[in-house]
Chain A
Amino acid sequence: MLFDAYEPGDFFDELFLNKRQPRPESALLIERINTLSLEDLKQRQQVAQNTLFKLGVTFNVYSDSEGTERIFPFDIVPRVVSAAEWAWLERGLKQRIEALNCFLHDVYNEQKIIKDGVIPRHVVESAPGFLQPCLGLQPPQGIWCHITGTDLVRDRDGSWYVLEDNLRCPSGVSYVLENRRVMKSTFPQLFSVLDIQPVDDYPSQLLETLLNLAPAAQSEPKVVLLTPGTYNSAYFEHSFLAQQMGTQLVEPPDLVVADGYLKMRTTKGLQQVDVIYRRIDDDFIDPLAFRPDSLLGIPGLMEVYRQGRVAIANALGTGVADDKLVYAYVPDMVRYYLDEEQLIPNVPTYLCEDPKQQQHVLTNLDKLVVKATNASGGYGMLVGPQSTPEQQAEFAQLIQQNPRGYIAQPTLCLSRVPTLIEDKFEGCHVDLRPYILYGKEVHVNPGGLTRVALKRGSLVVNSSQGGGSKDTWVVKAEPGE
């Protein structure tokens, strides 16, 4: 009865209402785990880890010169989301993606939202992700953000918030698929009694999303997945997705612009490419249009793209909506474009570029989380309650030097999920990244990647900072309901 000793504590626990009282949707799972001995459970955990390692589900660490791959630590206690809660999340995510897509199309074309005074022009134009060369761009079907990985968190009272939108090249979906595969072999009986929504059709949905962008005249469109190469931290995922979709995995030197089209160099000569699923940041994709110092890109790609002769997912320029200052205006976008109120709220955000709000931030640095507006992956941030006075002083200086570059948010007390640490269950903080595809319609993969902070008390869940992952189950509250 391993869970008898588990203490949910003064947090929102995703599996327990109170000590020894599971939530209805997790009851069967807890019951099942309670029948296992600690040794049995640890052994299953080990088998699951080994399987992932053998499958090569690894990521590379940037600072490591040998380019070694590490496994993303995996915990076998899943996070459970009830089907009712999920239905609401799904509606909220679809709403948000639609509004963001309208925003992207608008700021690069008519800029009505700026002209109508809803978002100040300087906010948009000062965002590093706002790309001048994309002005006037008309991507196929008017879709900009084809693949999104929205980061969601829950506070102490259980309320959901959107933390980040990740509209550029969100990663991690391969873990969702592989974690599920491993969980099926770890708890097969549970999968037969519980109604767990399947995630396995993601590669097919992704392929459909990409094919949707191909020119109608092309009967056998060529779709490729563009990776920066084997040293990229997410290389495993790139190669995994390419394999699952049966598309060609290409690196920038494989591609060349010839006769006004994008082509790839094959042993039988040049072959036309119609759709690129790119896992390279905007800045590095075309040295002629963006960074001339980039060695990665494909010179001339932007021009081919503007001509509509190749489709790119996600569209170039989507980074503007990832800017954390622009993020603060998403509720306004939802109202402006959809005439609706935002379903899943933003985390309340203080804008350091506003003198009054900046003052508030500076006097409360020990309580707030400060983030660089253009960073992600847990880099460039200050977690107030866990910081030293020196770090706070450093950020105070940074904020004053570059007010546009920082925002601050209250420190949320992230919800927890019991996690097997050494010989017992401990509550660890989690977030949730669902994956949303925008093809013929918007499709949300049920569940998503639950990232867990494995260091005791830590709130940082990023893989580069000692985080792990869990499977996420969307289940009906009672079997057979």
Chain B
Amino acid sequence: MLSRVAASIYWMNRYVERAENVARFVDVNLNLLLDCPPGVTQQWEPLVVTTGDLELFKERYGEATEANVLQFLTFDSSYPNSILSCLKAARENARSVRDIISSEMWEQVNAFYLMVNEAAQLGSLANVHEFYPKVKLASHLFAGVMDATMTHNEGWNFGHLGRLLERADKTARILDVKYYILLPSVKAVGTPLDDLQWIALLKSASAYEMYRKCQQRITPVGVTEFLILNREFPRSIQFCLLAAEQSLRQISGTTSGTWHSSSDRALGRLRSELEYTTIEEVVKDGLHEFLDRFQSRLNGVGASIFENFFSLETA
């Protein structure tokens, strides 16, 4: 498979997943705000902080009002991680591999882009509560269409790998949003407001009902454990790493416990470390610190994949 083609399928999936998760970020905050008692100040800045692009945002927009943050994260075509930019990039990647992917996949990416672009043209975020769920659904549709219409070959595995790495990263960031929201009022831990916030967070990862089935009582440690270490819930970090590793092994032809390339090693090591980690250790080290470290390790995995498979430098 051509490196460029593999990279296009990988990035097409990452961008679709990224758009979905930006929608989830925004959704978690919108939901939290709905439950905030009057008098509590709305917090939008943490959302921008978790993207790592606070400086850029301040420069361009100044104050982190709801309107500014939503515009930035959703329709700002000059911000590469906005939902609109993600869809543009996903569509361009799809276009360059139209002869490789199924026509249904192309049609879904195209329709997804047109839907977001149309909303951007209207320029109004009047029905935010409808728009973000639509973005999530369109992303699920794309994943489903790819799963059911494309041969599960090397190209598919690159796509799957991209999607799961992106999801692992974004689940970590969604958890981090909670950290920032809590920061100003550590005293609030354990209050009814705090409970509502954790529920909203679970819902935003589509994890609320699944969490109830295995843990029942909502506790910060329980939620964190579920979203980081659960091996069966498809948005938990550990699940994502296990599934991503499976695809990577299909691509490189190695078996579990062995490695051939630096990507195999980086991803395998990260996954197995997480397998032997307890939630108590995470809490002891500090959740934010843990997530921060995890994200930079995950970036390392992405860099290795680029180097091993996509880099256009001549060997």
Which stretch from B60-68, B78-86, B95-103 is at the chain A interface?
B95-103
A254 at interface, CB cutoff 8 A: yes
Contact B99–A242 (Cβ < 8 Å): yes
Q: Complex formed: what's the CA distance from A249 to B6 in Å?
A: 13
B225 on interface, CB distance cutoff 8 Å: no
Taking CB atoms, residues of chain A closer than 8 Å to B2 are 248, 250, 254, 264-267
Contacts of B96 in A (CB 8 A): 229-230, 251
Does any Cβ of A come within 8 Å of B314's Cβ? Answer: yes
Residues of B within 8 A of A258 (CB): 314
> Which residue, of A251, A254, A265, has the highest number of chain B Cβ atoms within 10 A?
A265
Pick the residue among A239, A248, A253 that contacts B312 (CB under 8 A): A253
Asked if B314 and A267 make an inter-chain contact with CB atoms under 8 angstroms apart, the answer reads no
Query: 8 Å CB contacts to B: which residues of A231-252?
Result: 235, 239-240, 242-243, 248-251
A250 to B99, CA, bound (A): 11
B309 to chain A: which residues have CB within 8 Å? 267
Contacts A56-B98, A249-B99 known; A254 to B92 CB distance under 8 Å? no
> How far is A248 from B312 in the complex, measured between Cα atoms in Å?
17
Which has the most chain B C-beta neighbours within 10 Å: A266, A267, A270?
Answer: A267
Which of B95, B99, B310, B314 is within 8 Å of A243, CB to CB? B99
On whether the beta carbons of B251 and A56 are closer than 8 Å, the reply is no
Q: Is the CB of A239 within 8 A of B98?
A: yes
Docked complex Cα distance between A229 and B309 (Å): 21
Q: How far is the CB of A402 from chain B (nearest CB, A)?
A: 39
Chain B contacts of A250 at CB under 8 A? 2, 4
User: Which residues of A from 443 to 470 have beta carbons under 8 Å from B?
Assistant: none
Residue of B nearest to A244 (CB): B99
A16 CA / B90 CA spacing, docked (Å): 50
Contacts of B92 in A (CB 8 A): 230
* Residue contact B3 to A267, C-beta cutoff 8 Å: yes
Interface residues of A in 208-229 (CB under 8 A from B): 229
How distant is B75 from chain A, measured CB to nearest CB, in Å? Answer: 16
Chain A residues positioned under 8 Å from B315 (CB to CB): 269-270
Interface string of A253-269 (1 = CB under 8 A from B): 11010100000111111
A258 to B314, CA, bound (A): 8
With a CB–CB cut-off of 8 A, which chain B residues contact A266?
1-3
- With contact pairs A267-B3, A270-B315 given, residues A56 and B99 touching in the complex (Cβ less than 8 Å): no
**Which of chain A's residues has its CB closest to B155's CB?**
A267
Q: How far is the CB of A299 from chain B (nearest CB, A)?
A: 11
Number of chain A residues whose Cβ lies closer than 8 Å to a Cβ of chain B: 23
Closest A residue to B1 using CB positions = A267
Q: Which of A230, A253, A269, A270 has the most CB of B within 10 A?
A: A230
- The residue that A253 contacts in the complex, of B4, B106, B154, with Cβ under 8 A, is B4
B3 touches A56 (CB 8 A): no
Please indicate the chain A residues that have their CB under 8 angstroms from the CB of B99 in the complex: 239-240, 242-243, 249
Once the chains are docked, how many angstroms separate the CA of A229 from the CA of B314?
Answer: 21
Closest chain-A Cβ to B181's Cβ sits at a distance in Å of 38
Contact with A along B149-166 (1 / 0, CB 8 A): 000001000100000000
Using an 8 Å CB-CB cutoff, how does the interface string of B1-31 with A read, 1 for contact, 0 for none?
Answer: 1111010000000000000000000000000
| Nearest opposing residue in chain B for A55, CB measure | B103
Residue from B3, B6, B92, B251 with most neighbouring chain A CB atoms (10 Å) = B3
Q: Are B251 and A267 in contact (CB under 8 A)?
A: yes
- A57 and B89 CA atoms in complex are apart in Å by 22
Q: Is the Cβ of B314 less than 8 Å from the Cβ of A251?
A: no
Question: CB within 8 A of B4: which of A56, A239, A242, A265?
Answer: A265
Contact call A267/B312, Cβ cutoff below 8 A: no
CB distance from B121 to the nearest CB of A (A): 12
Are B95 and A230 in contact (CB-based, < 8 A)? yes
Nearest CB of B to A175, in Å:
17
Q: Is the CB of A265 within 8 A of B103?
A: no
Residue of A nearest to B94 (CB): A230
Q: Would you list the 4 A-B pairs with minimal beta carbon distance, nearest first?
A: A243-B99, A239-B99, A265-B3, A267-B309
Chain A residues close to B by CB (< 8 Å)? 56, 229-230, 235, 239-240, 242-243, 248-251, 253-254, 256, 258, 264-270
Residue ranges of B at the interface with A (Cβ–Cβ < 8 Å): 1-4, 6, 92, 95-96, 98-99, 103, 106, 154, 158, 251, 309-310, 312, 314-315
Seed contacts A249-B99, A250-B2, A253-B312; 13 additional CB < 8 Å A-B pairs: A56-B98, A230-B96, A235-B95, A240-B99, A243-B99, A248-B2, A254-B2, A254-B4, A265-B2, A265-B314, A266-B3, A267-B154, A270-B314
11 contacts between A and B (CB under 8 A): A230-B96, A240-B99, A250-B4, A251-B96, A254-B2, A254-B4, A267-B3, A267-B158, A267-B309, A268-B1, A270-B314
